[in-house]
Amino acid sequence: MQLPKRKGDARLFTATDYHLSPKKYEELQHKLARLKARHPQEAAEVKRLAEMGDFSENAGYQLAKGRLRGLNQRILDLENLLKRAEIILPDRDIDSVKIGHKVTIVSAGKEKQYTILGASESNPADGIISHNSPLGAGLLGKKLGEEIKIQINGQEKIYKIIGIETE
């Protein structure tokens, strides 16, 4: 029997963005609570399957152990993220663009509105961009009426800020 292979530890070397909106922070706390509630059941299943004898030929045990290991890792990752989280509180000062602001821009005659949040909440289709994205980074610190030039896919695009508001 072949043992399951562990996934690489590439995730350990990726930069994590700890900026979270209050809503996302609360959502992750609830997710952590649900995972912790599942832990005793998973551990009991591993213990039950371990009592069946030889570990090397006990596929059920190996699978349950892998699920428990994955659950433990997700719990640790979420605890780490929540411990280091920087809550985005929208700044009422709308003189310049900051994380948490909703920005209205015009490009090539088309008006678009984006909220600038952390990378974990980014969803450009819903109008949420990361402060680390080319557009998000370009907008930060700019004032109403300013134009910015950004290279996207080898093309230079010009955006003009026509509105800044708080959420």
* Domains contained in the chain, number: 2
| DSSP category for residue 47 | H
H-helix or E-strand spanning residue 66: helix 59-84
The edge-to-edge listing of strands for the beta sheet with 110-117 is 128-130, 110-117, 101-107, 155-166, 147-152
Please indicate, yes or no, if residue 17 is contained in any of the structural domains: yes
pLDDT of residue 49: 87
The CATH number for 129's domain is: 3.10.50.30
Q: Mark whether 64 and 35 lie in a shared domain.
A: yes
| DSSP category for residue 52 | T
**146, amino acid identity:** E
The CATH number for 22's domain is: 1.10.287.180
pLDDT of residue 6: 61
Please indicate, yes or no, if residue 58 is contained in any of the structural domains: yes
Q: Mark whether 79 and 121 lie in a shared domain.
A: no
What is the pLDDT tens value at each position of the chain, 167 positions in all? 566 666 655 555 456 789 999 999 999 999 999 999 999 999 999 898 888 877 777 788 889 999 999 999 999 999 999 999 999 987 788 889 999 999 999 998 899 999 999 988 999 999 999 999 999 999 999 999 999 999 888 889 999 999 999 87
Nearest to 12, CA basis, from 63, 86, 73, 79: 73
The range of the structural domain enclosing residue 154 comes to 101-166
